Amino acid sequence: MIEIQVILLWITVVLYAVSAGLYIYGFTFQNEKKFPLAGYIATAGLVPQSAAIIIRWIDQGHGPYMTYFEGLNSMVWVGMALFLILNWRVPAYRFLGIGVMPFSFLLIGAAVLQNPELEPIPPTFGTFWLLVHVIFAKISYGACLIATGFGIVYLIKKKQQSQDELTPFYKRLPSLEVLDELSYKFTAFGFIMIIIMIISGAIWANKAWGRYWGWDPVETWSLISWFLYGIYLHLRITYGWRGSKAAWYSIASLAVLLFAIFGVAAFYAGAHSAYFK
Amino acid sequence: LDGLLQRVWNFLISKKLAIYLIITLTIVTTVGSLVPQESYSTHTDINNWLDAFSSIAPVIRFLELYHFYNTWWYQAIAVAFGISTMACTIEQIRVQWKRGQPVLLKPEKILQLKNSFELTVPGDKETIYKQVTSFFEKKKYVLYGDKSSFHARHNAWARWGLPFFHVSLVVILFWAIISLGFLSRGVIEVAEGQTVAENHQAYRYLDEGRFFNEGHGNFKITLKKLDVKYTSAGPPQDADASFIFESAKGTVREKVLNKSQEAKFEGFHIYLDKFSFTPLIILKDSSGQWITGNFYNISVKEEDTGQLYQERINIPNTNFLAIVNVYPDLDKKTTYQMFNAYRPVNPGMDIELQDKTNNRVLYKGTIRLGETVKFGDYQLEFPELRRFAQLIVARDPGVAVIFSGFWLSVVSLLAFYLFIPKEVWIHVEEASGGSCRVVLGGRSFRFKSLFAAEFGDYRERLQTLLIKDDDR
Nearest Cα to Cα of residue B382 among B436, B322, B432: B322
**B248: pLDDT strictly greater than 80:** yes
Instruction: Assess whether pLDDT exceeds 60 at residue A79.
Output: yes
Per-residue pLDDT, A84: 94
pLDDT level of residue A44 (50, 70, 90 thresholds): very high
Q: What does the pLDDT look like over B399-439, one tens digit per residue?
A: 889 999 999 999 999 998 889 899 999 999 988 888 899 99
Do residue B409 and residue A202 have CB atoms under 8 angstroms apart? no
Write down the pLDDT at residue B337. 73
Residue B332 banded pLDDT, cuts 50, 70, 90? confident
Residue B470 has pLDDT above 70, yes or no: no
- Residue range A134-141: mean pLDDT, rounded: 91
Model confidence over B386-409: pLDDT tens digits?
999 999 999 988 888 999 999 999
Closest CB from A122, A127, A220 relative to B33: A220
pLDDT score at A275: 53
CB atoms B399 and A268 under 8 Å: no
Q: Where does the pLDDT of residue A272 fall: very low under 50, low under 70, confident under 90, or very high at 90 and above? A: low
State the average pLDDT over residues B60-64: 82
- Say whether A192 and B417 touch across the interface (CB within 8 A): yes
Cα of B315 vs its chain's centroid, Å: 40
What's the pLDDT score for residue B469? 52
Q: Which residues pair with B392 in a beta bridge?
A: B187, B271
Task: Check residue B113 and give its pLDDT.
Answer: 94
pLDDT band at A276 (very low <50, low <70, confident <90, very high): low
Residue B153's pLDDT band (cuts 50, 70, 90)? very high
Residue A205 is predicted with a pLDDT of 87
**Cα maximum dimension of chain B:** 127
Nearest CA in chain B to A177: B449
CA dist., res. B236 & res. B227, Å (int): 10
The answer on pLDDT for A160 being more than 80 is yes
Q: Which of A151-155, B63-67, B247-251 has the lowest mean pLDDT?
A: B63-67
Instruction: Please state, in angstroms and rounded to a whole number, the distance separating the CA atoms of residues A66 and A122.
Output: 10
Report which of A156, A133, A240, A226 is spatially closest to residue A188, judged by C-alpha positions.
A226
- Over residues B17-26, the mean pLDDT reads 94
Residues of A in contact with B16 (CB under 8 A): 238
pTM beyond 0.80: the answer is yes
C-beta separation of B220 from B195 below 8 A:
yes
For strand B236-246 and strand B203-208, is the pairing parallel, antiparallel, or unpaired? Answer: unpaired
Annotate chain B with three-state secondary structure. Answer: CHHHHHHHHHHHCCHHHHHHHHHHHHHHHHHHHHCCCCCCCCHHHHHHHHHHCHHHHHHHHHHCHHHHHHCHHHHHHHHHHHHHHHHHHHHHHHHHHHHCCCCCCCHHHHHCCCEEEEEEEECCHHHHHHHHHHHHHHCCCEEEECCCEEEEEECHHHHHHHHHHHHHHHHHHHHHHHHHHHCEEEEEEEEECCEEECCHHHEEEEEECCCCCCCCCCCEEEEEEEEEEECCCCCEEEEEEEEEEECCCCCEEEEEEECCECEEECCEEEEEEEEEEEEEEEEEECCCCEEEEEECCCEEEEECCEEEEEEEEECCCCCEEEEEEEECECCCCCHHHHHCCCCCCECEEEEEEEECCCCEEEEEEEEECCCEEEECCEEEEEEEEEEEEEEEEEECCCHHHHHHHHHHHHHHHHHHHHCCCEEEEEEEEECHHHEEEEEEEEEECCCHHHHHHHHHHHHHHHHHHHCCHHHC
ipTM here:
0.83
Nearest to B270, CA basis, from B177, B350, B190: B190
Per-residue pLDDT band for A94 (boundaries 50, 70, 90) equals confident
> Over 90: is that where the pLDDT of B138 sits?
yes
Calpha distance B344→B340 (Å, rounded): 12
Predicted local distance difference test score (pLDDT) of residue A68: 85
Predicted local distance difference test score (pLDDT) of residue A270: 56
For position B132, what pLDDT does the model report? 92
| Residue B1 pLDDT exceeds 70 | no
B243 within 8 A of B255, measured Cβ to Cβ: yes
Residue A163's Cβ-count burial label (10 Å; 0-12, 13-18, 19+) is exposed
The pLDDT of residue B456: 92
Give the model's confidence band at B350: pLDDT under 50 very low, under 70 low, under 90 confident, else very high.
very high
B111 vs B472: CA distance, rounded Å: 24
Q: Give the pLDDT score at B455.
A: 93
Of A181, A208, A234, the CB nearest to B449: A181
What are the pLDDT digits (tens) for B164-197?
Answer: 999 999 999 888 888 888 888 999 999 999 999 9
Mark which residues 174-193 of A lie under 8 Å from B by CB. 175, 177-178, 180-182, 184-185, 188-189, 191-192
Cβ contact, residue pair B453, A209, below 8 Å:
no
pLDDT confidence bin for A274, thresholds 50/70/90? low
Q: Is the pLDDT of residue A228 over 70?
A: yes
Any idea which of A183-192, B226-235, B292-301 has the lowest mean pLDDT? B226-235
A9 CA: distance to closest CA in chain B (Å): 27
* Interchain CB distance below 8 Å, A216 and B29: no
Per-residue pLDDT, averaged over B75-104, amounts to 90
- How many C-beta atoms surround the C-beta of residue B137 within 10 A? 12
- Mean local confidence (pLDDT), B290-306: 86
